[in-house]
Amino acid sequence: MTEQTIFLNAKLADGSLVDLTVTDGRFRVITPAGKAPSVDLASIDLAIVDLGGQLVVPAFVEGHIHLDTSFYGDAWRPHIPCSNGFDVRERVAFQARNLAAAAPMDERAKNQLELCIGNGSLAMRSHVMVDGSVGLKHLETILAVRKQYRDLIDIQLVAFPQSGILSSPGTPDLLDEALKLGCDLIGGLDPASFDRDVKGHLDVVFGLAQKHGAGVDIHLHDGGTLGLFQVEEIAARTKALGMQGHVAVSHAYGLGDIPADALLKAGEMLAAAGVAIMTNAPGNHAFPPVAALRQAGVTVFSGSDNIRDSWWPYGDGDMLSRANMIGYRSGFYEDHELAAAFDVVTHAGAKALGLESYGIAVGASADFVTLQAQHVPEAVVAVPKGRTVYRRGRAVAKDSKMLVR
């Protein structure tokens, strides 16, 4: 029997009040409130939910997280500072020590997933460590967790060479294997400052992406012109290989500390190459200027990145709160700017992840969140916690608590 739910009195982002008819997990009809079509009850299992004018928005897109390395829900791990300024290798060593003493990875990953789903994210991209130090162990665990949660959240996995590619023996073969096992994308890590070989690093990344038809999402922390140089190299390869729309650079801090004219050029180049930029609006750090890049036509998306791990103690798995941070750090005050911050964690995220049938639209998957806010700008500013999260038209979380597992 067809399953149908009619959600009455949903307020959309444009201020209209509508009824949403969801059939077998998809929006089938959207009408002005009070105009939902009548149904033949004999052939339909019908439920009616009155949303009472709550704001209805598409489920959030968590575009960058690390499901394997968080301690969320485990014992508190005090942050250990680097001995002589930030050093990725030293942080990786702290992480190895912390992980050895942590609760089982699948438990910690599930804690994080339920935190994210509870806050309204139903699509996610997670980087998972694949390198000479851990082999495929992390990936095998996270693949099993993904399978267990597939009815609740769509998860893309990135094979992430946390210890570099050329400087971690055996890593190219492990990345190849990871893509065979089910990773959707191949990652990278600071080709210049970590492996000290931009061409060699990117040859492996793009070579494997081509071999497997996979996307690319590279961690790039290098700042200034060194960072910009690598962004240019990534964009050039993306264009040359016809991979527009399938490549992202995460962090790209360099875009945040170059002169305005260089940024404008970089934005035009990224837009033409179809390379997306992920920023989590990191604390006390230059980050890619969201408004300028969007203006240039670049897809800017966001994610929690680390949540209570060996890199920093922050993160709450709430992409609405992330939109607030993006707006706050970007100096966004006007409604259209607040709406832009919201777009980064919803539609732009969906575009960066290549999600099909996203949004509050006929034919789209009925993955949505109800918010107690008048409109999107107020939601970004107030970050209301009272929310209900619907996956394919079914309530799966309410007020940050899971209703199903």
- Which residues contact Zn ion by CB under 5 A? 305
Q: Three-class SS of residue 59?
A: coil
The string of DSSP letters for 250-309 reads EE-GGGGSS-HHHHHHHHHHHHHHTEEEE----TTS----HHHHHHTT--EE---B-SSS
CB of 140 to Zn ion, least distance (A): 20
- In this structure, are residues 217 and 226 in contact, taking their beta carbons and an 8 Å threshold? no
Dihedral sign for Cα 370, 374, 377, 378, please. negative
At its nearest, how many Å lie between Zn ion and the CB of residue 320?
20
Which CB sits closer to Zn ion, 19 or 305?
305
Give the β-pairing of 154-160 and 121-129: parallel
* Residue whose pair of structure tokens reads 């009619």 in the numeric block: 6
Nearer to Zn ion, 305 or 367 (CB): 305
As a whole number of angstroms, the distance between CA 350 and CA 62 comes to 9
Among residues 68 and 305, whose Cβ is nearest to Zn ion? 305
**Could you tell me how far CA 261 lies from the centroid of its own chain?**
29
- Nearest distance in Å: CB 189, Zn ion: 9
Residue (61 or 339) nearer to Zn ion, CB: 61
Instruction: Give 136 or 158: the residue with its C-beta nearer to Zn ion.
Output: 158
Sheet containing 215-220: which strands, arranged edge to edge? 60-65, 121-129, 154-160, 185-189, 215-220, 247-251, 275-278, 300-301
| Dihedrals phi, psi of 219, to nearest 5 degrees | -75, 120
Residue 127 CB, shortest distance to Zn ion, in Å, is 5
Residue nearest to Zn ion (CB): 305
Q: Which two tokens stand for residue 146?
A: 């993904």
> Which CB atom, from 252 or from 373, has the smaller least distance to Zn ion?
252
Q: Smallest distance from the beta carbon of 187 to Zn ion, in angstroms?
A: 9
Q: How far apart are CA 149 and CA 144, in angstroms?
A: 9
Contact call for residues 48 and 8 (beta carbons, < 8 A): yes
Task: Kindly tell me which of 38 and 284 has the beta carbon lying closer to Zn ion.
Answer: 284
Least separation in angstroms between residue 384's CB and Zn ion is 28
Distances (CA, A) of 15 to 55, 370, 394: 9, 14, 24
Residue 309 CB, nearest approach to Zn ion (Å): 10
Please say whether the beta carbons of 303 and 273 come within 8 A: no
Nearest distance from residue 65's CB to Zn ion, in Å? 8
- C-beta of 302 vs 365, nearer to Zn ion: 302
Give the tokens for residue 248: 């992202």
Compute φ and ψ for 63, nearest 5 degrees: -90, -5
Question: In angstroms, what is the minimal distance from the CB of 359 to Zn ion?
Answer: 26
Alpha helices by DSSP H, listed for 101-223, are: 105-119, 137-148, 171-181, 198-212
**With respect to Zn ion, which residue has the nearer C-beta, 92 or 338?**
92
